Structure 1
Amino acid sequence: MIPSDLPRSVRSGEELDLIKLNAFLLANVPDVGTVQEVRQFAGGFSNLTYLLKTANQEYVLRRPPFGANIKGGHDMGREFRVLSLLTGHYDKIPKPVVYDETPDVLGAPFYIMTRVQGVILRASMAPTLSLAPERMRQLSEVLVDNLVAIHTLDIDATGLRQLGKPDGYVQRQVEGWIKRYRAAETDKIPAMDRTGTWLQENYPPEQAAAFLHNDYKFDNVLLELDKTTGEPIPLIKGVLDWEMATVGDPLMDVGATLAYWSEAGDSPAYRNFNLTWLPGNLTRQEVIARYAEKSGRDVSYILFYYVFGLYKNAVIAQQIYARWKQGHSQDARFGHLLPMIIELADKAADSIEREKV
């Protein structure tokens, strides 16, 4: 049996003001009803997610972490706009309900959406997960196929094109993440410097623009649960966490997925990123081949996108580690990120040297 992501009691210091919230709902979306209970989903390093229970339905509320720089990567309005644009064109999403751009109600902007029931396969489940290899393969195949489906959405008919500027997208991303790394650098990591230089010198030909999720992996996908066996079946109920969605080169999305896609031969630390190393899952090469077959896209330069995905993950970890090292965070987890940053950098540099994903 695999449990769904069960919400827990709200963490101390992260409570919601129910009086203000219910007054806001009554004034703006009275059909939602009165929130009678609030629980909180276990979070990573990103936005806070709450379960709201009314008399007849369950909703999910998303807001930035307390004390976060709202302009720096916690854009609730963007997430809400993405879901609104996808509504009617892509059915594997929660229904957006309401967005408040002010801090008046909860101290920060927030939005509410309907709850989609399902199970998320998280990396932490790997030690106890006992899915048959055949089922694991089916799940990884449907994960790839759904990414292809996302990339086939018409960015003009849906209005999604307004989310980004496709021309020059790859170069802007590379230059931007190199700049972020330099701003957050704490320790000299030669492999990061070599990788950044290689990326700047090896831009691939531009691909036709598509809609990108930008953080696509098992952790952000809700799967249907077989009520008899208690196991997930290869049917995606919903895709979550659209905060980084944009429009650009779709292979950047594939590269980001591959950068999380650990294999059995990878180090234990790298396998912590995902459970794709369990028996039956597609390998990274098989992911590339299936994506190419289903999408019809040229994946000749996939090494570049994979290396960038690794580099970007290293920079994200470096930014978190830098905040901890500077005393801006007391979370002990963040103080142990340096070995992972080095490993990601070495993996990127090694892939470049071997010319292999």
Structure 2
Amino acid sequence: MVRDPGSLQHTPLHDLHVARGAKMVDFGGWHMPLQYEGILAEHRAVRERVGIFDVSHMGEIDFTGPRALAAVQRLITNDAAKLVDGRAMYTCVCYPDGGIVDDCIVYRRGPEDYRIVVNAANIAKDFAFFVQQAGKLCDIADHSDDFALIAVQGPKARALVAELGGQHLLDVPSFGFASCWISGVDVTAARTGYTGEDGFELFVPAAVAAPVWEALLAGGAAPIGLGARDTLRLEARLSLYGNDIDQTTSPLEAGLGWVVKLDKLGRGEPFVGAEALAAQKAAGLTRSLVGFRVQDRNIARHGAEVVDAGGAVIGHVTSGGPAPTVGGAVGLAYVPIALAAPGTVLTISQRGRSFPAEVVKGPFYRRP
């Protein structure tokens, strides 16, 4: 696939989605399936069985050479020195002021070979930032056009991928990855995902992605669109870049402090933004991203306001919607730190109406 900034982009599997009758939408410049059979049915298919997502719009940026680890360490908030071959980790990349460039997954493919998977709308921005900040340390190459990425998620996902790609895949740990063959195609299967369910994300050469997709469908997987992907990730309380996190928010404010390893500073391996985050931590946070449950039949949406007793705006909803598995409606919002404790009742204002929501701790849904 070739990216043309002047038109909608198509993944290598685009024509298969159209042929299947998927409702397609413009998603950040990509023509992507919103739904096939309906968001609720697709959500349930992933929670109860197995679904597959075309996430080929995500980007793959590779770091190679003797100083590849140093380059990655310079860029990420987490500590890639803890990785061994065949393992991956979630992380943030920050600007010097501590704002988030992107949230990513780093894969160690070898001692001089790392891959960072970035969000689709951020590929060009991230690549430019990576080269600016670490391009003198190693070779940095954008291979996003070379791969399709297929997410296989749900309680039956691991068994399906192992049936097609080999039983050795059942031994791959969480945030591990291994090679396999599916339908004669060389695939890298990473045990990662964005739904709250177990499963794999499959890196497939773009030119031969269709046989892998068709094999997964034949094995019983349901095709899933972006609509259900959003309800699934929200139930699992997974942040969406551009909504819940962006350049105006820090990982500490977003509840992602667990991927901020400030001890790298003491080891002489400062990452971009480390000093700003250390200062923010020392001063104390003034706001925090919280999860909430709506207490009545309303649904809070992105952009709704959190208001105080006098109606003054004190925060904003970043994500919100129905929670098909757990029931009711849930959401995420930035609020003053004094209102971030579980059990706190917030007032949401939306389209001239106000309704209550209760702050809750942790994911709304955890898989059994």
TM-score, normalization by structure 2: 0.23
Task: Considering fraction of residues, name the structure with more strand.
Answer: 2
Task: Considering fraction of residues, name the structure with more helix.
Answer: 1
